[in-house]
Chain A
Amino acid sequence: MATLQSYLMVTAILFGLGLFVVTTRRNAVGVLMGVELILNAASINFVAFAHFRGNDVAGNMFSIFIIVLAAAEAAVALALVISLFRQFGTIDVEEATTLKG
């Protein structure tokens, strides 16, 4: 039987991986996947906490909302990636640096 600690460990690693991905991947889609990882870490946390609090409905609900919103965000983000590709001819985020300083 998995303990709460082990869930938390997994999510912490997932969260860290997510942060690692968003800060290192140069491909915009890859970066967005990192964001998904972070959100998933949160999502799993919610479910785990809800489970260990006697299947509290609120926690489960939150994780569902996270999934929904992640999808919405991804939709917008991908649209913007496409737009970026049209402008810059690449989806490498390192290229999009005209705004700085």
Chain B
Amino acid sequence: MRENLLHFIPELVLIGTILVLFLAAFLASAQQRLFPQIAFVGLLMMLLANYGSRDLPAIHFFSGMVTYDALGHFFKYIFGLVGLMGIIFSHQSAELEKADLPSYYTLIIALILGMVLLATASNLLMIYLSLEMVSVLSYILTGYLRGVRRSSEAALKYVIYGGVASGMMAYGFSLLYGLTGSMDLTTMAQYLGANPASRSLLYVGVLFSMAGFGYKVAAFPFHMWCPDVYEGAPTPFTAILSVGPKAAGFAVLIRFFLTALTHSSASGDFIDFKDTGWPEMIAILSIATMTLGNLTALVQSNIKRLLAYSSIAHAGYMLMGLAALNNEAVRAVLFYLVVYAVMNLGAFLVVIIISNRLGTEQIEDYKGLGHRGSLGLLLAVAMTIFLFSLTGVPPLAGFIGKFYLFGAVVRAGLYPLAIIGVLNSVISLYYYVRVIKLMFFDQPADASPLSLPVVSHSYVVSGLAILTVYFGLFWNGLAALTERSAKLLF
């Protein structure tokens, strides 16, 4: 038991942080600046604790509900860093000015905890619980802007959509449970490997389960909440939403499919049990997701919606990795998640800064940003780096991510998928570049230099931009990390 808790320290730290935040809200609710600091420190400690637990052996614990393995360890880093970024982004946000900040930060930390649990869950029940935890907290945070129509509307849509999706998932889980007699992913795999089971029922179960996962990562056809919610939610939270739950969704997708529904071969490839045909399903959903995301992004005029569709498209790229069914693919997805997190958070931070400063989310208003003083230039250059990276142009991190993904797909011999993927990234260029074009090629309506309310934001933007370039050139460390992390405990 003591050992189990040792594995659980990062989560415990988060729980502790939540308690401290409660206490602080109770004792010193007037000290508005205190809460982000507590949350920040809590997350830092969680990251430290996670670092400290890096060499622990992989085990299942809590009756097999939760797993400690390299994959989960990796995702804890991602969530911790996303949380840190979220706190920085929320700092002095114009949107959140009137909101209840103590609860906001508490909810953020709880959300992080939920994502951590989701990424480490190894039992259907735990998956359901943690997924609901993330969902419910997300609904609340989406509707956090009181008296703002779009926020409430988005939250309501989100909750209905999420309810249906998780309901379908629960129904799917019930079928899987019925078929295998177990909720533990490893046991399910053992059962499926050894016993006959109805393939069609299994497929129905997988498809309905996919509704829950797909909704978390915003994959077609479970993506439609995404643009509306991104647009309606407070932007700092949108930034977290576009990265955190998506990453958690991929963690659970990887764990679910690769643990319960495949067995691994000696060559590092995973083989689909019983030939259920779910990899084809994933491949088709992946194609549909990226194509739809990219095409719809072409005609957007709101930058948050544009980034929403772009995030859908990126989910499509990453699903491609899942369909490839090999070790490289898992590594590629992990790698892609990291670089996606960096560049997408960067892009959102620029959006937040512009929104705070200019009060606009319209792409048109980015006109001539590069000509508005050194800050404007900095933001425009950073945004350019993020957007080009999202397109996948070397030497930026996004390219390396795509390189890994396409590499895995080519390795798996799925050439049509790869070609559609690269064509999609060409299409995506068009809308990313439109923003860049506006920022540089056009003259601003108001040429006055920009000033920044929060100085630290410009450092963070620069940092993320540099990181994007750095990972594009020297990604060996990150590659090694993902290689280490792409190990599941079966």
| Complex interface bits, B123-166 against A, C-beta within 8 A gives 1, otherwise 0 | 01100110010011001100100110110111111011011101
Report chain A residues within 8 Å CB of B173: 42, 62
| Complex interface bits, A1-21 against B, C-beta within 8 A gives 1, otherwise 0 | 000100010010001001100
Report chain A residues within 8 Å CB of B182: 58
Nearest CB of chain A from residue B140's CB, rounded to whole Å = 6
Q: Which residue in B164, B175, B181 is a CB contact (below 8 Å) of A38?
A: B164
Report chain B residues within 8 Å CB of A73: 132, 135-136, 159, 162-163, 166
Nearest CB of chain A from residue B312's CB, rounded to whole Å = 14
Interface residues on A, range: 35 or more
> Whose C-beta in chain B lies nearest to the C-beta of A19?
B164
Decide: A22 and B153 in contact? CB cutoff 8 A.
no
**CB proximity to A under 8 Å, residues B167-211:** 167-168, 170-171, 173-175, 177-178, 181-183
Q: Is B300 an interface residue (CB 8 A)?
A: yes
Q: A84-B153, A98-B153 are in contact. Are A77 and B160 (CB under 8 A)?
A: yes
Decide: A62 and B300 in contact? CB cutoff 8 A.
no
Q: A62-B183, A73-B132 are in contact. Are A39 and B152 (CB under 8 A)?
A: no
Q: Which residue in B125, B136, B167, B183 is a CB contact (below 8 Å) of A72?
A: B136
**CB proximity to B under 8 Å, residues A16-53:** 18-19, 22, 28, 31-32, 34-35, 38-39, 41-43, 45-46, 48-49, 53
Nearest CB of chain A from residue B397's CB, rounded to whole Å = 30
Q: Which residue in B156, B164, B305 is a CB contact (below 8 Å) of A96?
A: B156
**CB proximity to B under 8 Å, residues A84-98:** 84, 86-88, 93, 96-98
> Whose C-beta in chain A lies nearest to the C-beta of B296?
A101
What separation, in Å, do the CA atoms of A100 and B300 have in the docked complex? 11
Decide: A45 and B124 in contact? CB cutoff 8 A.
no
Report chain B residues within 8 Å CB of A81: 156
> Whose C-beta in chain A lies nearest to the C-beta of B168?
A38
> Whose C-beta in chain A lies nearest to the C-beta of B204?
A12
Nearest CB of chain A from residue B460's CB, rounded to whole Å = 28
Decide: B156 and A28 in contact? CB cutoff 8 A.
yes
> Whose C-beta in chain A lies nearest to the C-beta of B153?
A96
What separation, in Å, do the CA atoms of A46 and B124 have in the docked complex? 12
Decide: A35 and B125 in contact? CB cutoff 8 A.
no
Interface residues on B, range: 35 or more
Q: A62-B128, A80-B143 are in contact. Are A42 and B160 (CB under 8 A)?
A: no
What separation, in Å, do the CA atoms of A70 and B300 have in the docked complex? 35
Decide: A66 and B159 in contact? CB cutoff 8 A.
no
Report chain B residues within 8 Å CB of A56: 181
Q: A42-B173, A62-B124, A65-B129 are in contact. Are A32 and B150 (CB under 8 A)?
A: no
Q: Which residue in B125, B147, B228 is a CB contact (below 8 Å) of A87?
A: B147
What separation, in Å, do the CA atoms of A99 and B132 have in the docked complex? 24
Report chain A residues within 8 Å CB of B328: none
Report chain A residues within 8 Å CB of B146: 83
Q: A38-B171, A84-B153, A99-B154 are in contact. Are A32 and B136 (CB under 8 A)?
A: no
Decide: A22 and B160 in contact? CB cutoff 8 A.
yes
Nearest CB of chain A from residue B224's CB, rounded to whole Å = 10
Nearest CB of chain B from residue A2's CB, rounded to whole Å = 15
Q: Which residue in B136, B143, B177, B178 is a CB contact (below 8 Å) of A83?
A: B143
> Whose C-beta in chain B lies nearest to the C-beta of A4?
B178
Q: Which residue in B132, B159, B160 is a CB contact (below 8 Å) of A69?
A: B132
Q: Is B232 an interface residue (CB 8 A)?
A: yes
> Whose C-beta in chain A lies nearest to the C-beta of B230?
A99
Decide: A99 and B177 in contact? CB cutoff 8 A.
no
Q: Is B361 an interface residue (CB 8 A)?
A: no
Q: A65-B128, A76-B136 are in contact. Are A15 and B171 (CB under 8 A)?
A: yes
Q: Is B69 an interface residue (CB 8 A)?
A: no
What separation, in Å, do the CA atoms of A31 and B157 have in the docked complex? 11
Decide: B170 and A39 in contact? CB cutoff 8 A.
yes
What 6 A-B pairs come out closest when comparing CB atoms?
A38-B167, A45-B174, A42-B170, A35-B163, A49-B178, A99-B228
Residues of B in contact with A (beta carbons under 8 Å apart): 124-125, 128-129, 132, 135-136, 139-140, 143, 146-147, 149-150, 152-157, 159-160, 162-164, 166-168, 170-171, 173-175, 177-178, 181-183, 227-228, 231-232, 300, 305
Q: A28-B160, A65-B129, A83-B155 are in contact. List 7 more A-B contacts (CB 8 A).
A: A45-B178, A49-B177, A53-B181, A80-B155, A83-B156, A97-B153, A99-B232
